[in-house]
Amino acid sequence: MSISSQIAPKVRAAAHLMAAAAMTMTAIATLPVPAALAHSAQEAPAPAPAREAERRPNILFVLVDDMGFGDLSVMGNKKVQTPNLDRLAREGVLLTKFYDAAPICSSSRAGFLTGRFPADVGFVGITAGRARNAEIGQVDWLDPKLPTIARLLDDAGYATAHIGKWHLGGGRDIGDAPWPTAYGFDRSFTTFEGLGPRVLVSDEERFLAQQSDTLGQGPRFWEIKTNLTGLYANMTVDFVAQHSDKPWFVNLWLNDIHDPWAPDDETLADVMGKGTSSDDDRMLASLVKMDKTLGRLFDRLDQMGELDNTLILVTSDNGPSPLARYHERGETAPGSTEGLRGRKFSLYEGGIRQPLIMHWRGHMKAGTRDEQTVGQGVDLLPTFASIIGAKKPAGSVGIDLSPTLQGQPVTQRPDLFWAYGKEGRPMLGKPSQPIDVSPRFAVREGDWKLLANDGGADVELYNLVQDPMEKQDLAASEPEVRGRLLAKLKKWLAQLPK
Ligand SMILES: [Ca+2]
């Protein structure tokens, strides 16, 4: 039995829940299942209606959780192959100097969604429990009044859905956070780090799922982790099938590459021994399975006629897991930065640098590998605004990356700033290996990156073109650059919310 047929009933149930999200719980019991949800994964979908040639593109944003810079085989992975994402990258446009807005889940996601540096909107770490958030100076949830990519597209007439991990508020002991639908999504379906209709993971991180269950706030059911990405992919197909009469936006945020990994036995058996440890095998199997599932999703959307005008973007929210236990046995930690220094929780390149794959059939210079453009998570909002011909919302600090689709690198941009924590507040979790532990604030100006701690302490300076691995600290030998960048960083830190 295929995985998709195993979980098809769950998809229908989940899509039913998502469709019912705007209605009251009492209405759900009597809600008829929409006809569009009734087709199974095996049945051919109805053909999409004819469209005007110049219609604005559909947008599918696939955000992987904790995938490293070098984990896709197109980025250097020699242990396993990721042929579906590789093909997307090789046929499309691949930016290799793309950054996350933060080295950790919640803050990175706030950057993607709002087009603003996360610390400017109160995100300096992850949304955890209320007491921890107060201690580190992290807001409990994203302000729903902020502009977001979802609101931008919703206002432009798109059908919008958030499917998958959220982590922008609504988990642990915080049961009063807005649902993702408060941010411009017509529909949402998430998991234990978010509220509203959601799936609770039954075999991993069960404590967080149980906490989420007690919060109420939306219909929910339990599922094992290995089935989540297939579930989300099939829900994406269902959502698209229901909205083929207008442009759609699906924010598909996966969580299978975030540890603990939970591949199915069949995929694990195929991969066994290719990793350097049992944990590595499990991570690689999860990666292979995710790639296969996404390949099926892209094929299915193609069969539905949806890929002729769809911009697909794929990237990851931060570097690979840095937990100590992966190093304790002298093993190589699962997840590759392809030699970049730093992992998750680090502002060195390995914590924040990612490939960005973009694919828009008929609207791109196919086969472009762009090693020049320095992009960042905050650029998605202005890029989407440019593509749909909308005005860039006020306050966005990002730039329009759409010229890169035509093979034109974007070589000028405003300075980039990162914060991992807040001045005067406790330090956050660190990578386990001392070489990966960075100062907690950073600025990039042109080829230069300066890092510092509170009050401008512990300054480090790197020329990223000459030294992409950040091995040679030039803070002492380049006093002029050091002074200029440190002043910029201090000025930015001083204007952050108190
Ligand atoms: Ca993450």
Spans of all domains in the chain? 7-20+55-412, 418-494
The yes/no answer on whether domain 418-494 falls in CATH 3.30.1120.10 is: yes
Centre of ligand 1 from the C-alpha of residue 462, in Å:
25
Say how far apart CA 398 and CA 32 lie, in whole Å: 43
Nearest one of 71, 91, 233, 95 to 164, comparing CA atoms: 233
Supply 166's token pair.
């959220």
Centre of ligand 1 from the C-alpha of residue 65, in Å:
4
pLDDT at 4: 44
Centre of ligand 1 from the C-alpha of residue 64, in Å:
8
pLDDT along the chain (498 residues), means of 10: 49 64 33 31 42 76 98 98 98 98 98 98 98 98 98 98 98 97 98 97 94 98 98 98 96 97 97 95 98 98 96 98 84 92 98 98 97 98 97 95 98 98 97 96 98 98 98 98 98 96
pLDDT at 9: 61
Centre of ligand 1 from the C-alpha of residue 381, in Å:
20
Centre of ligand 1 from the C-alpha of residue 318, in Å:
5
Containing 359, the helix (H) or strand (E) segment is: strand 353-360
245 exposed, middle or buried (CB, 10 Å; 0-12, 13-18, 19+)?
Answer: exposed
pLDDT at 8: 58
pLDDT at 331: 76
Centre of ligand 1 from the C-alpha of residue 323, in Å:
13
Centre of ligand 1 from the C-alpha of residue 254, in Å:
10
Q: What fold characterizes domain 7-20+55-412?
A: Alkaline Phosphatase, subunit A (3.40.720)
Centre of ligand 1 from the C-alpha of residue 206, in Å:
18
Centre of ligand 1 from the C-alpha of residue 420, in Å:
13
Say how far apart CA 133 and CA 131 lie, in whole Å: 5
pLDDT at 330: 74
Centre of ligand 1 from the C-alpha of residue 440, in Å:
17
Say how far apart CA 339 and CA 319 lie, in whole Å: 12
Centre of ligand 1 from the C-alpha of residue 167, in Å:
9
pLDDT at 332: 80
